[in-house]
Structure 1
Amino acid sequence: MLAAIWAQDEEGLIGKEGKLPWHLPNDLKFFKTMTEHNTIVMGRKTFEGMGGKLLPNRDTIILTSDKSYQVEGALVFHDKQEVLEYAKKTDGMVFITGGTQVYKTFLPEIDVLHRTLIHHRFEGDAYFPKINWDAFTMVSISEGETDERNPYKYQFESYHRK
């Protein structure tokens, strides 16, 4: 099953120069909890924006058009169909984790959405693609806890395709 997981600000912003425009440790913890022992799919730029390091306890698929691109310990795929075939064969969830073009490519096939909505506006250059929200039903929403390390109000939302 395919899911998308991302954090965005009030305007749909998800990135700035290949990185997150905010620091929200509770969202990173949520991402870890949701994706551990599953597969994450990301574009090459997103992977390199994370410092080119694989996240532990996850299978990682890096999507790139560069046929010579290799990352030890990761699967490198070159098109959408390879990811969809992999998703059919795996028992766990396959999480699409960015960037914008990768989300846009897979959005028609995604069954589950996990969005962290940050009630703030940031500056950046990457936005989540438009979603037909009528195709999804909200199944859960919970307010995130704010503190000195998590200063922005935010909420975790989950949706299933109708």
Structure 2
Amino acid sequence: MIAAVAENNALGKNNDLLWHLPNDFKRFKEVTSGHHIIMGRKTFESFPKPLPNRTHVIITRQKYFQHEGCIVVDTLEKAIAACPKNEDIYIIGGGEIYTQSIPFADQLDITRVHHSFDADVYFPEINPGIWELTSETFNPKDEKHLYDYTFQTFTRKK
């Protein structure tokens, strides 16, 4: 799973992000390029167009939703089954998909935005009994980034 998450676990509001962090976008692109990315329909619709160099797997309950070049399914299980077996796949949101997916994930790539926001979509709690923080890199705010943020990687404990 990969997500940018505020201190209060906020992800977004009105199907939009709450912050603009160019280095987070750059990291997201580097990590997910060349891979299958799984998302809910609303997350997909928040993009101006499909993201280049990635295979989009969209989960929706809308029976007739289709998008050229994308795989469309109606459950998380079907989304995972549509992806190659021995390759990294990334769950990219939104909140409901993250909540459904966290029991299946083996790694969480989190950009922790050091601020709290009013939101209508939240990331699930990261349980320290299940997840071990294996790396983190702090980044201070600057002229392009309004907030301090930390890149964190959590790995599921064995």
TM category (shorter chain) comes to over 0.9
Residue 126 (structure 1) aligned with residue 154 (structure 2): no
> What letter corresponds to residue 47 of structure 1 in structure 2?
F
Q: Is the 8 A contact 2:109 2:154 kept in 1?
A: yes
Task: Give TM-score scaled by structure 2 length.
Answer: 0.93
Aligned with 1:42 (options 16, 39, 44): 39
Aligned sequence identity (%): 39
1:145-160 to 2 correspondence within 5 Å? Answer: 145-160=140-155
**CA offsets, 1:81-108, max 9 Å, x none?**
2123234x34421111111110111111
Give the deviation of 1:145 after TM superposition. 4.8
Q: What residue is the counterpart of 1:15 in the other structure?
A: 12
> What letter corresponds to residue 27 of structure 2 in structure 1?
F
3-state SS in 2 of match to 1:134 = coil
Q: What residue is the counterpart of 2:156 in the other structure?
A: 161
Q: Is the 8 A contact 2:112 2:149 kept in 1?
A: yes
Task: Give TM-score scaled by structure 1 length.
Answer: 0.91
Residue 103 (structure 1) aligned with residue 118 (structure 2): no
In structure 1, how many angstroms separate the alpha carbons of the residues matched to 2:86 and 2:53? 15
Which ranges in structure 2 are unaligned for 5 or more consecutive residues?
none
> What letter corresponds to residue 120 of structure 1 in structure 2?
H
In structure 1, how many angstroms separate the alpha carbons of the residues matched to 2:121 and 2:25? 19
Which ranges in structure 1 are unaligned for 5 or more consecutive residues?
none
Q: Relative to total residues, which structure has the larger helix share, 1 or 2?
A: 1
In structure 2, how many angstroms separate the alpha carbons of the residues matched to 1:36 and 1:161? 23
Residue 93 (structure 1) aligned with residue 112 (structure 2): no
